Amino acid sequence: MMKEILNYINGKWVKSNQSFIKKSPVNGAEIARVYEADKAMVDLAVEKAKEAFEGEWGSVSLAERCRLLRKVADIMERRSEELMLAESNDVGVPYAAAKMLNVGRSAFAFRMYADEAANLFEQSYHFSPPNGGQAIHYTLRQPKGVVGAISPWNVPLLLLVFKVAPALAMGNCVIAKPSEVTPQSATLLAEIIEEAGFPAGVFNLVHGFGANSAGAFLTENQDVSAFGFTGDTHTGEIIMQSAAKGVRDVCLELGGKNAGIVFSDANLDDAIAGTLRSAFTNCGQICYSTERMYVERSIFDEFVSRLGVAVSQMKIGAPDEEGIQMGPLVSHQHRDKVKSMIDKAAQDGATFVTGGGIPQFGDDRDQGAFIQPVVAIGLAEDADFVRKEVFGPVCHVTPFDSEEEVIKLSNNSRYGLASSIWTQNFSRAHRVAAKIRAGNVWINDWQLRELRTPMGGVGASGIGAQGGRVSLEFFSDLINVTARI
């Protein structure tokens, strides 16, 4: 029987009158029926969350909240196989990657947020007022109340956890709205939070789409005081507009068109292996993916030919196949979008070093959303393929001649999310890093992540950051108390 995915509201699992079918990206099979929350259900979730916040949850101590968070991490580890399968079935990501990144890091994040919340510092000042006497000032952090967590489909569990864990740690009640494309792991997370013993109403889960559906119903509800959102830049604009009514807070992690830079003195083996990861991990569906590479002219031909060979040898297949490096794209709809951008690149004059077609397997994977990874060269900087986020396994490589030129090329984007710099000249690495307009810059690596560090974007890539203390600060209001003594 097909799996049924329900909403979780005020500690109860609820169906609705509308539902939609989730299909496998691996073979197109129908894998789940998802019950879409209507407006009344979303409003009920918010109402019950508000009641929980004003009731029992509001007086639960920080130590107890941290204990509950750690319990979630323990249960996640115990149920890691289930979570891994849910994530892999929804996204098509290879098992090994799902286990390590999607699930392992999510459990780690719950523990990290418990540790960081327990150690969050406050400010305190001693002051001599001009009219005499003494005063002390100190800050408090209070939860914002009911907050929304709206997440995308590319790394579904982790990107939801980055919002839910700090929000709960700071004492908020949460309404989670995962992507309609990947509903399964969020539903397991709700089960785990329930099992950990959070009171009813503290965590709620509503399924559905964006416009005219659960996403919009959530952002329109004036009792939700802040939104942690990861997704497309255009959706971020819509959420920000909605949040403007009532002056509600947003933390937006949005799209990117990330550049990698390889100088001629780089360790080429590392730079090629790094680019293979940075452009093709998760089938290129990582917001930090480097879809634009700039390579110093003297090593350009060698870099392109070696990267092309490495990419053409990548093992593509179903997530449970041995030694698999790349699964399918997340959906057939997304493959149509990626394919049309690849076809447009061909029309615009790109040379394909490798890839660009649809692989044929001769079995049920031919009904999946697979695509051949692309290495392309030859496009002008104003081509769509070089300017717009593809969010697929593509990498366009352009030669450059000087440090100044490559900084300009790299920064020539409305986005500013991530960059990788490959060089063995450390003075240059740090000099260039300081001039790159991106929220995250890696030197001789990519996506090397310590979860306590702030990760955010500049420009059209977002507002605010996620990670450790900054997320705890986002999900709380800063209050100053002044006392005359």
Is residue 75 within 8 Å of residue 196, measured between CB atoms? yes
* Nearest-approach distance from CB 107 to ligand NAD, in angstroms: 19
Helix, strand, coil in percent for the chain, rounding step 5: 40, 25, 35
- CA atoms of 258 and 252, how far apart (whole Å): 17
Per-residue mark of binding to ligand NAD, 340-369 (x: CB under 6 A): ------------------------------
Task: Identify which of residues 53 and 391 has a Cβ nearer to ligand NAD in the complex.
Answer: 391
Q: Residues 423 to 442: which contact ligand NAD by CB under 6 A?
A: none
* Nearest-approach distance from CB 218 to ligand NAD, in angstroms: 7
Total interface residues for ligand NAD by CB under 6 A: 33
- CA atoms of 174 and 183, how far apart (whole Å): 17
* Nearest-approach distance from CB 418 to ligand NAD, in angstroms: 8
**376 binds ligand NAD per the rule CB under 6 A:** no
Q: Return the amino acid letter for 474.
A: F
User: Which of 250, 266, 287, 350 is in the footprint of ligand NAD by CB under 6 A?
Assistant: 287
**219 binds ligand NAD per the rule CB under 6 A:** yes
- CA atoms of 199 and 82, how far apart (whole Å): 24
* Nearest-approach distance from CB 188 to ligand NAD, in angstroms: 17
- Region of 127-135, 206-214, 313-321, 426-434 interacting with ligand NAD (CB under 6 A): 206-214
Which is the catalytic residue, given 87, 116, 180, 253?
A: 253
Write out 106-123 in H/E/C secondary structure. HHHHHHHHHHHHHCCCCC
Q: Which residue is nearest to ligand NAD (CB)?
A: 210
Task: Identify which of residues 296 and 473 has a Cβ nearer to ligand NAD in the complex.
Answer: 473
Is residue 128 within 8 Å of residue 136, measured between CB atoms? no
Q: Residues 11 to 70: which contact ligand NAD by CB under 6 A?
A: none
Is residue 149 within 8 Å of residue 228, measured between CB atoms? yes
Reported in sequence order, the residue ranges of 118-171 that DSSP labels E, i.e. its strands, are 124-127, 135-143, 146-150
Task: Identify which of residues 211 and 483 has a Cβ nearer to ligand NAD in the complex.
Answer: 211
Task: Identify which of residues 209 and 361 has a Cβ nearer to ligand NAD in the complex.
Answer: 209
Question: What is the crossing angle of helices 156-169 and 105-118, to 10°?
Answer: 20
Q: Residues 377 to 416: which contact ligand NAD by CB under 6 A?
A: 389, 391
Q: Among 460, 438, 427, 79, which Cα is nearest to 258's?
A: 438
Number of Cβ within a 10 Å radius of residue 132? 6
Is residue 460 within 8 Å of residue 446, measured between CB atoms? no
Q: Token pair of 350, please?
A: 């790109």
116 is catalytic: no
Q: Residues 303 to 332: which contact ligand NAD by CB under 6 A?
A: none
**419 binds ligand NAD per the rule CB under 6 A:** no
Q: Return the amino acid letter for 170.
A: M
**235 binds ligand NAD per the rule CB under 6 A:** yes
- Region of 131-139, 210-218, 265-273, 376-384 interacting with ligand NAD (CB under 6 A): 210-218
- Region of 24-32, 115-123, 205-213, 270-278 interacting with ligand NAD (CB under 6 A): 205-213
DSSP codes of every residue in 204-240: EE----STTSHHHHHHH-TTEEEEEEES-HHHHHHHH
**166 binds ligand NAD per the rule CB under 6 A:** no
**177 binds ligand NAD per the rule CB under 6 A:** yes
Q: Among 471, 16, 475, which Cα is nearest to 206's?
A: 16
- Region of 17-25, 229-237, 320-328, 362-370 interacting with ligand NAD (CB under 6 A): 229-237
Element (H, E) at 482: strand 476-484
Per DSSP, 316 falls in state: B
User: Which of 16, 89, 106, 179 is in the footprint of ligand NAD by CB under 6 A?
Assistant: 179
Is residue 147 within 8 Å of residue 225, measured between CB atoms? yes
**445 binds ligand NAD per the rule CB under 6 A:** no
**180 binds ligand NAD per the rule CB under 6 A:** yes
**216 binds ligand NAD per the rule CB under 6 A:** yes
- CA atoms of 298 and 303, how far apart (whole Å): 10
Residues found near ligand NAD in the complex (CB under 6 A): 150-154, 159, 177-180, 209-211, 215-216, 219, 230-232, 235, 238-239, 253-256, 287, 389, 391, 417, 457, 461-462
Which residues are the active-site residues? 253
